[in-house]
Amino acid sequence: EDQVTQSPEALRLQEGESSSLNCSYTVSGLRGLFWYRQDPGKGPEFLFTLYSAGEEKEKERLKATLTKKESFLHITAPKPEDSATYLCAVQANDGGTSYGKLTFGQGTILTVHP
Amino acid sequence: GAGVSQTPSNKVTEKGKYVELRCDPISGHTALYWYRQSLGQGPEFLIYFQGTGAADDSGLPNDRFFAVRPEGSVSTLKIQRTERGDSAVYLCASSLYGGSTDTQYFGPGTRLTVL
């Protein structure tokens, strides 16, 4: 069974204090790993897709990296507006028809204080 | 452009009642997904449509849950004989092709409360 575990559950940072969020995963075969941001009362907002170990993607203050067992979301010099829940999800290559199914972690709640 | 929309935004019902939740995907997207998110948890997959047909309904928890997409656009998630444990935010997402690693774009969700 596919599993995704995110850590820490919650992270408090001061503005400008860089840090990383972790996403550990267990899948039969990885098609893709996705990062989403979710603000309170809203649906998840797509950030990145990573396909293979060693891949990196960047967007503004965010950088996502991927290894064979985990992914990291690095936040450089965060601002209060980066406060949100960050969700990691995997899509498995199970040889079946579940091309659409994403398995999500529980999320990391990030709070950035000014 | 317009994103995924869901109606109603909030639904309060009594235990045992029937509810319908509606999802309007992004125009031109052939794939549509339903997820359920409980407080403090990540979304949990329910069902995936490719066009009008359900390609994967393995996440539906039991036969009280049913979803349709008769014309390959709007979808309705139907829940019969609601239970308090059904209370959650129901999220809908759509993607262009529904193929491998196709990006899923989410709507704002419907918050269902069963009293």
A3-19 pLDDT, tens per residue? 999 999 999 999 999 99
User: For position A96, what pLDDT does the model report?
Assistant: 61
pLDDT at B1 over 60: no
Closest-CA residue in chain A for B104?
A46
Q: Which residues of B touch A100 (CB under 8 A)?
A: 31, 33, 48, 50, 55-56, 95, 98, 102, 104
Q: What does pLDDT average to over chain B? A: 95
For B44, phi and psi rounded to 5 degrees? -115, 125
Q: Which of residues 40-69 of B touch A (CB under 8 A)?
A: 40-45, 48, 50, 55-56, 58-59
Does any CB of chain B come closer than 8 Å to the CB of residue A5?
no
Say whether A82 sits in a helix, a strand or coil: helix
pLDDT at A95 over 70: no
pLDDT at B49 over 90: yes
What is the C-alpha to C-alpha distance for residues B74 and B58, in angstroms, rounded to an integer?
20
Subunit contact B106:A36, Cβ cutoff 8 A = yes
Subunit contact A100:B42, Cβ cutoff 8 A = no
User: For position A92, what pLDDT does the model report?
Assistant: 87
User: For position A71, what pLDDT does the model report?
Assistant: 98
Say whether B34 sits in a helix, a strand or coil: strand
For A60, phi and psi rounded to 5 degrees? 55, -120
Tally the C-alpha atoms within 13 A of residue A83's C-alpha that lie toward its C-beta: 11
What is the C-alpha to C-alpha distance for residues A110 and A73, in angstroms, rounded to an integer?
12
- Chains A, B: CB contacts within 8 A come to 80
* A36 and A47 Cβ atoms separated by less than 8 Å: yes
The CA-based angle A28-A33-A38, given to 5 degrees, is 130
Per cent of chain A over pLDDT 70 is: 95
User: For position B12, what pLDDT does the model report?
Assistant: 98
**Beta strands at B31-37 and A10-14: parallel, antiparallel or unpaired:** unpaired
